[in-house]
Amino acid sequence: MTFKLLDKIDVADGATTRRIALYEGDLTALPPEQRADILIVSAFPDDYSPKTTTLIGALQGRGLSVAELAANKLYDLRATSAFWLSRPLGPAFDGMNIGQVACFETHELGAPPAVVGDLFRGLFPFLDDRKSQTVAMPVLATGNQGWPPDVMLRSILDAASNWLARGLAISELKIVESRPDRAAELAAAMADFKAKSAANVVQEPEAASFDVFLSFAKADAEAADCAKAALQTRADAKRVFDYRIAIDKGKSWQEELDRAISSSRSVVTILSPNYFASPECAKS
């Protein structure tokens, strides 16, 4: 199967223009010019059964066992970034044109559309901007996990666009679909995403404005409710940013937090043992 470029999005981070590209092709047979430094697959937690209808099964058919990679993984970031990273594949797999494998597993972090941004954030330490590095993936979590392809594609495009704009060192993110019928549907969804993104840039909607950005750990929700109620009795703190209400599922949380912080007059943080133990609080 040849690789066919269906559509692309160019993302500028100020110094570099990076690319998100949608291809029709086969991730188990990447040609040398389409080599991926990291191939991202998805799985149910700790389940790497090589089912014939899955990418993991297709890789097994080429001699690459994701289960074996998982047993000797290089880094396990599933608790904070929803993926683990394999060791370099080595010369035995040079013909597959894949450097390493990352496996996206959401575990308790949330639904795949809402968590995929954590995946891109977590890749930062493993990519070197001095090199032209590429990452390839299918539309994650749409096989046996059953998420609608258009929903997951939009979440991937949204998260990837935001993190590439922040300097994530991926020269090209290749999103690859092997089935021609589904590839056409994904191309239409990508065109729709691009049109809506362009419209948002043209309209330049005014960012929400808050008196207070309230930062707290999920485990301190009750204390946050008390603090919010107390703040809103003040004339200068009526508008309190509370991520539980303000950020919709599936949106890029990093973009929404950045926008909220930049448009808030002050920040109130509930410092507690839960706060310092929370990966989410460390991110914000």
> CATH number for the domain including 15?
3.40.220.10
Question: Distance (Å, rounded) from C-alpha 246 to C-alpha 169?
Answer: 29
- 20 and 139 in a single domain? The answer is yes
* Whole-number pLDDT of residue 141: 94
pTM here is 0.76
Domain of 104 in residue numbering reads as 4-203
- 164 and 229 in a single domain? The answer is no
Q: For residue 250, what is the domain's CATH number?
A: 3.40.50.10140
- Residue 193: pLDDT band with limits 50, 70, 90: very high
- 96 and 222 in a single domain? The answer is no
- 21 and 71 in a single domain? The answer is yes
Is pLDDT above 70 for 201?
Answer: no
- Total tally of structural domains belonging to the chain: 2
- 103 and 230 in a single domain? The answer is no
Residue that terminates a domain, selected from 187, 203, 219: 203
8-25, pLDDT tens digit by residue? 999 998 778 999 999 999
Residue that terminates a domain, selected from 182, 203, 224: 203
pLDDT > 90: percent of the chain = 60
- Worst-scoring range by mean pLDDT, 12-26, 28-42, 120-134, 223-237? 120-134
Residue that terminates a domain, selected from 184, 203, 222: 203
Question: Distance (Å, rounded) from C-alpha 17 to C-alpha 20?
Answer: 10
